[in-house]
Amino acid sequence: MAPKGPFVLCTVNTAPERAKRIVGRLVEDVKEEYTIDYRANSERIEDVKVMCEKEQPNVLFCASMWSQEESLEIQRIAKETVPGIKTMAIPHGLQVERGPDAVVEWLKEKWPGSLKRNQPTTEHPSHSPP
């Protein structure tokens, strides 16, 4: 069966090279099932609207350095800018507490569900898989 997609993905991460590496691993790990086109990263909340207007992503990831309030704000901006966009907020502190492997595993676990719903997500690391 052909992969689903393509899904246009943007990220919001103050460390763009780390975002690129993590998304690259996700893209590679799910390529048999999904085609993901990683387009851009915004390092600042203030730039999310412009990035979304330009790239028109259908999926946006918020990195784990953002607080719950910041993640909700990022997702609100994305949803106001691109109706129907799917958003995911990596649990605050997951990268620092458990490293990039945990982030990739969390994304792989949550990715299919994120494509089915349209609600902002914020999860505490204690709710993420071990």
pLDDT tens, position by position, 42-78: 999 999 999 999 999 999 999 999 999 999 999 999 9
Residue 128: inside a domain:
no
Residue 103: inside a domain:
yes
Structurally, the chain folds into a number of domains equal to: 1
Q: What is the CATH classification number for the domain harbouring 37?
A: 3.40.50.2300
Output the pLDDT for position 117: 56
Residue 86: inside a domain:
yes
Residue 129: inside a domain:
no
Average pLDDT over residues 88-95: 94
Q: Which domain holds residue 22?
A: 4-123
Asked if 91 contacts 9 with a C-beta cutoff of 8 angstroms, the reply is no
Give the burial string for 13-49 (b: 16+ CB within 10 Å, else e): beeeebbeebbebbbeebeeebebebebbbeebeebe
Q: What is the pLDDT of residues 97-106, one digit of tens each?
A: 999 999 999 9
Residue 130: inside a domain:
no
Say whether pLDDT at 40 is over 60: yes
